[in-house]
Amino acid sequence: MFFAQKYGYLHKNFSFAIRRVSCVTLHSMAAPAVITLPVPKYTKLFINGEFVDSVSGRTFETLDPRTGDAITSVAEATKEDVDEAVKAARKAFDHGPWPRMPGSERARILNKYADLVEQHLEELARLETLDNGKPLAACRAGDIPSCVKALRYYAGYADKIHGLTLKMSGEYQGYTLQEPIGVVGQIIPWNYPLSMFFYKISPALACGCTVVIKPAEQTPLTALYAAQLGKEAGIPAGVLNVLSGFGETAGAAISSHMGIDKIAFTGSTEVGRRIMEAAAKSNLKPVMLELGGKSPLIVMDDADVEEAVNLAHRAAYSNMGQICCAGTRIFVQEGIHDEFVKKAVERARQQVLGDPFMPGVQQGPQVDKAQFDKILKYIELGKREQANLLIGGKCWGDKGFYVEPTIFSDVQDNMKIAQDEIFGPVMSILKFKTVEEVIERGNKTIYGLAAGIVTKNINVANRLSRSLRAGVIWINCYLVTDMDAPFGGYKMSGIGRERSLCGLESYMQVKSVICPVYESPWL
């Protein structure tokens, strides 16, 4: 669940420009700035083409992670609201124009949607930063452009969906039809709220499905704004429904709803298991799950240490470490281990923390107090497990949910900090000797989302890439993705693949049609 090329852009264009300035120095140098915060425009549920109050009338507060203060109150969807949204989506699928219109017309609407997102880039970026805490520069340069790319990519496929002609044995002919799967329930996480919104809805809409989507309760604001832009683009009523609410209520109701034909979820493995169980117990709806990870980044002796450290820094600390495919298990071969550790600490010390609306800030707050507390708890656990805390390990600042970039060395494979997904800015460095050893240790986890390899030896790179059980392998790079590259995991990191043609096909059913080529005796 990451959108990558943006970090290459930030890395080249402003990270190095301030890399010699420590976060403490920058904080003391910077004069307080007046920041004009965006005002949320849309806070109600979006059902059947209109913003409406929840059936219960209940609301909840969405918080500013910079301070912990409330931004605004948002309508809280429950089972009754899910019922209304599914009813609208079912009517739009069974009787509405969206699945029946030419693919070229759906493409035209999706491209117009992309135009509107582009036109509102600044407002969306600022709203995302307010609700999520990620640096505004990252939202402008990466997150919002990635939404536009997703819409345009799948718009390009909308009029190219077709089946196959079948070579049948006997005197029969056949062909296949690719048909939209129906009403889709989608549940998205808080770490890339708007990007994940468009990564989910774009392929589903392109092939003619209708959607009921629930953003994370921590970050509902940009999804609701995007609902309005979809309406302006011409998406018919009932095709796109957006429900802000909690996982235990709205999310559970979506997962178990008999009127939903497919579930797509991105989030934790624990919640993914519950969603899969609910889907199986209802109408046996298929599920696509993009779940957690504990990805290894393997650094061989022949690597350029400076470059390897920069890759490891990006792998572990991008987006405040809140990335499912973050490279937080850094395996370093013994020949360069000590030098790598020293330089990794130096690099972490240069990380610039602060208000994500401020220019030059590289690391904002964690998304909420629960995540903040979880990270600090794991750091304390790492100390108790006798890993060597080299830097960080504490909260930063006097308000908000900031955690210092943290590095542990002397980490062993059986430690919780090496096995559990922390989802925060915590790097674990592990020493290894041989390729055979690191293959075994790199795979020694319940997860299999991603892995990274840093080496100048193509034979080693090829061997490792074929041996590591992960859905994405990066060689001499990290967190580089593209709409054309399938994304998903092995083992408990998920089921299925998103993005690329794989993402489109997962929202379609294949139907075989067979008939005789001669005059049938039954007619």
Catalytic residues: 290, 324
> Each residue of 354-391: b (16+ CB within 10 Å) or e?
bbbbbeebbbbbbbbeebbebbbebbeebeebebebbb
Under 8 Å CB-to-CB from 11, ≥6 apart: which residues?
A: 310, 314
Under 8 Å CB-to-CB from 101, ≥6 apart: which residues?
A: none
| Cβ atoms of residues 503 and 24 within 8 Å | no
Establish how many alpha carbons lie within 13 A of residue 280's alpha carbon, considering only the half-sphere containing its beta carbon: 6
The rounded distance, in Å, linking the Cα atoms of 202 and 84 is 22
| Cβ atoms of residues 242 and 227 within 8 Å | yes
- Six-digit token string for 38: 């965006």
- Six-digit token string for 17: 């420009």
Strand ranges inside 159-232, DSSP E: 165-166, 172-180, 183-187, 210-214
CB atoms within 10 A of CB 173: 14
Helix (H) or strand (E) run with residue 305 in it: helix 305-317
Helix (H) or strand (E) run with residue 271 in it: helix 269-281
